[in-house]
Each structure stands twice: as structure tokens, then as C-alpha cells.
Amino acid sequence: MAGSSWIFVKATWRGGTKFVVENRAGYKSTITARVPEGETSRHFSPVDAFIASLAACAGTNVVLLLEDGGIPVRSFTVKAECILGSGEPRSFEKIHLIFLVNGNMTDATARDAITRSMTLICPIAVTVGRAAEVTWELQVTKGTKSSGRKCPD
């Protein structure tokens, strides 16, 4: 395989549509595509995990960029709204990320960190952005004192 190959993930089938995924450090999680009728799932679907990876990767880089710039972040949430096409093969038509940031920073500083993460740093965002329309917005809550509350869901 050309390029840098440092990621290792193994997905082991456990029956039905359930897979146990394991990273190179041995940490495991369960991903279930379809839950049998009458049962409830406490696991992510493959699509949930894909979008969660995008949100976490982009968000991690935004927080690191802000903190590396001397800007403390009190709370931070990334929400994802997606439109999945109905035709086969199904693919994402649009993914919209909403970055909810609490901290003392200008909107311009936060927007710059988001833009850099989404277009230059996060490999998931950069790759997905080549295949689907990916947009984002920023919601900043400013304040010097943490209220102990997280950004709204």
C-alpha cells in the first residue's frame, strides 16, 4: 500500500450484522448494522461510527489548534447533520457539522481553527470533503467563568 500506513483496525464478525472492531492498541467496540426485531442496540452502526469519526477528528484538531494558540476551551461539542442519498449505492449527499465552542476567543479565531481542521489537518474531513458536500458552522459561547454546564445538545 502506498503512502503512510500507520492505522490498524480489525473487524471480527460476531453473527448477524454485529462486528467487534479493535484498534492496534487492543481497544474494542461493537458495531451493529441492523438490530434484530424486538431487540435494542447499545452499539453504533457503521454509519454512526463513520460520522462520529469525522466529528471527533475535526473536533480534536480544532481544540488542539485553539489550545496550542493559548486559547483555553471550556466546553466543545460537534454535532453532525447528514443527508444520505436514497439511490443505490447509498452515499452521503451532504454533511453539515455544527461546532459549539465555549471559551474566550473571537469568532474569527474559532472559524480559522475549524477551517484549518476541515480542509488541511483532519484526514477524515479532507477525504470525505472530496466525495460529499461538507459544510460547517460555528456557535461560540463566551465567558470567563465556567457554569459547569456543557454546550447544549
User: How many angstroms separate the CA atoms of 140 and 57, rounded?
Assistant: 19
Task: Identify the pLDDT of residue 2.
Answer: 58
Q: Where are the domains of the chain?
A: 7-44, 46-141
- Smallest CA-to-CA distance from 139 within 114, 121, 117, 120 is with 114
Radius of gyration over every alpha carbon of the chain, rounded to an integer in angstroms: 18
Topology, domain 46-141 = GMP Synthetase; Chain A, domain 3 (3.30.300)
Task: Identify the pLDDT of residue 148.
Answer: 36
- Report pTM: 0.83
Q: Provide long-range contacts, Cβ within 8 A and 24+ apart, for 148-151.
A: 149/75, 150/75, 150/77, 151/75, 151/76, 151/77, 151/100, 151/101, 151/102
Burial (CB count within 10 angstroms: exposed 0-12, middle 13-18, buried 19+), residue 76: middle
User: How many angstroms separate the CA atoms of 83 and 126, rounded?
Assistant: 18
pLDDT tens, the chain, 153 aa long: 456 566 679 999 999 888 999 998 999 999 998 776 777 767 788 999 999 999 999 999 999 999 999 999 999 999 999 999 888 888 999 999 999 999 989 999 999 999 999 999 999 999 999 999 999 999 988 764 433 333 333
> 45-65 burial, b for 16+ CB within 10 Å, e for fewer?
eeeeebbeebbebbbebbbeb
Q: Which three cell numbers stand for residue 112?
A: 480559522
